[in-house]
Amino acid sequence: MCAVGSSKVPKANKMSAAEHTIETSFMLAPMTTGPNDKHNFGAIATGLDLDSISDIDVAALSNAIWKHKLVVVKAQKHIHPAKQWDLVTRFDPKAPQVHSHGDVKSFNIKGGLLTKGRNVTAIPGVENVRIVGKGFQGKIHYGLENLSIEKNPLHDWHAVPLAEEEFETGHTRFQRWHLDAPLYDRDPAWFTTLRCVHRPLSPQVTVHWDDGSGQKMSVSPGLTAFFSNVQTYGLLSEDEKAFADNSWVEYAPHPYMWLGDSQSSPNGLGIWGDGKELSLEQVGEYDASKVKRYPMVWVNPVTGERAFMVHGICVRRMFLRRSQEEDPVVVDGLPEIRAWLRPIQERVLRPEYIMVPELDEGDIVMWANYQLFHSAIDYPSKMGARTMHQANIGASIGPTGPFPVPVVV
């Protein structure tokens, strides 16, 4: 373990790669890995108190998240949810003071896939901290009385059903690999923060890919899985890198509504079966200026690393080219888009690249949403209730690619 203050760390959260030495009070240790692991991200921060964190420590923590992609801040059981939101706003002080998915009322109406079969609940008085979990949340939970979160199993999103009897014996799946991003109007949050208030600790559940690959991995219940899209980028061929560096995607307007009744691959990555999306007419009114076009590759503002960041299920058009000099080929057939993306994105979807960080009650996992994909993992209700507090903020500056995306094509 090494003290952050003893090493060179990049300057605060200004989306700048500048570095200088700053004194910090907390300790940071890279996560340990097993002999078969290939994931190369994650660190654990100890010695922080988010009730009274200094500006210097906020800056150092921000840089640690960019550098390590994911940081688990230990022992924050004592803080009020308002302190979590306070930290989120200090990470990106120029951002509009609202969750990346907007206010709760409109998210519950316009959230489409993201709010299907559930209502999103916020902490009273701290609207931008949202409760993620299942089951009974307690007689009084920060002002919420007798809240019980009842929803369908997360794998309901999958085109290939998982039998209830199998699920009850601990056979589970990754729900949906994604970054936290509205992909319309607001830019995705740089970081997402998720505090573990309570979760079941046993027994272990087994995540199955259920896609014919036979892959599986055992995990503790109530946790979130991650993989690094910097590693996805690293697994590309030189030709694929040229395409990725120079190409961009356009997301559908209100993409999670546009997805309609689409369903996912059983491994949680990508759509299985096309043609269930809504037409643009069915999506209804939208503002063309709020439709998002993002580069395929997002550059880490602190480390300069490149990540292949395409939220494939929401892409409506792809603009492919190998160099800045070429005119892009516009791909607007969803089967073609998905067939191009799937083999690239599935390359990293292997147990050795997936990290499921352990969280004790009070720990807050914070991750670089511009570098990682994550997925929820469901577990049988009989194992107990789960309470997590999630907060992020629509970024003040959106993702930056290796080259600018042309404004009009």
The residue nearest Fe ion at its CB is: 180
Stretch that binds Fe ion, among 95-103, 156-164, 180-188, 263-271 (CB under 5 A): 180-188
Contacts 24+ apart (CB under 8 A), 211-218: 211/265, 211/266, 211/267, 213/267, 215/350, 215/351, 216/351, 217/351, 217/354, 217/356
Residue 178 beta carbon to Fe ion: minimum distance, rounded to whole angstroms: 6
Binding status of residue 378 toward Fe ion by CB under 5 A = no
Residue 30 beta carbon to Fe ion: minimum distance, rounded to whole angstroms: 24
Q: How far apart are CA 311 and CA 296, in angstroms?
A: 9
Cβ-contact 323, 246 below 8 angstroms = yes
Residue 192 beta carbon to Fe ion: minimum distance, rounded to whole angstroms: 6
Comparing CB distances to Fe ion, the nearer of 180 and 346 is 180
Q: Write out the binding residues for Fe ion, residues 85-104 only, by CB under 5 A.
A: none
Comparing CB distances to Fe ion, the nearer of 101 and 292 is 101
Comparing CB distances to Fe ion, the nearer of 180 and 378 is 180
Residue 125 beta carbon to Fe ion: minimum distance, rounded to whole angstroms: 23
Helices (H) and strands (E) in the chain, counts: 9, 25
Can you list the positions of beta strands (E) in 272-311? 293-295, 297-299, 306-308
Comparing CB distances to Fe ion, the nearer of 4 and 207 is 207
Cβ-contact 398, 188 below 8 angstroms = yes
Residue 59 beta carbon to Fe ion: minimum distance, rounded to whole angstroms: 25
Q: Tell the residue number behind the tokens 């009744």, with chain if given.
A: 261
Mask for 137-176, x = binds Fe ion (CB under 5 A): ----------------------------------------
Q: Name the token pair of 48.
A: 């922080």
Which of 57, 180, 187, 346: binder of Fe ion (CB under 5 A)? Answer: 180
Comparing CB distances to Fe ion, the nearer of 27 and 88 is 88
H/E stretch holding 365 reads strand 364-368
Phi, psi at residue 147, to the nearest 5°?
-75, 130
Strands 205-208 and 171-172: parallel
Comparing CB distances to Fe ion, the nearer of 318 and 377 is 377
Comparing CB distances to Fe ion, the nearer of 45 and 377 is 377
Comparing CB distances to Fe ion, the nearer of 167 and 191 is 191
Q: Write out the binding residues for Fe ion, residues 313-332 only, by CB under 5 A.
A: none
Residue 223 beta carbon to Fe ion: minimum distance, rounded to whole angstroms: 13
Instruction: Judge if the upstream peptide bond of residue 203 is cis by omega within 30 degrees of 0.
Output: yes
Comparing CB distances to Fe ion, the nearer of 320 and 377 is 377
Q: How far apart are CA 47 and CA 23, in angstroms?
A: 14
Residue 374 beta carbon to Fe ion: minimum distance, rounded to whole angstroms: 6
**Exposure pattern of 96-115 as b/e (b: 16+ CB <10 Å)?**
eeebbbbebeebeebbbbbb
Residue 176 beta carbon to Fe ion: minimum distance, rounded to whole angstroms: 8
Residue 180 beta carbon to Fe ion: minimum distance, rounded to whole angstroms: 4
Q: Considering CB under 5 A, how many residues would be counted as binding Fe ion?
A: 1
Stretch that binds Fe ion, among 118-126, 178-186, 308-316, 337-345 (CB under 5 A): 178-186
Provide CB contacts within 8 A for 329, sequence distance 6+.
Answer: 319, 320, 321
Name beta bridge partners: 365: 72, 194
User: Which positions touch Fe ion (CB under 5 A)?
Assistant: 180
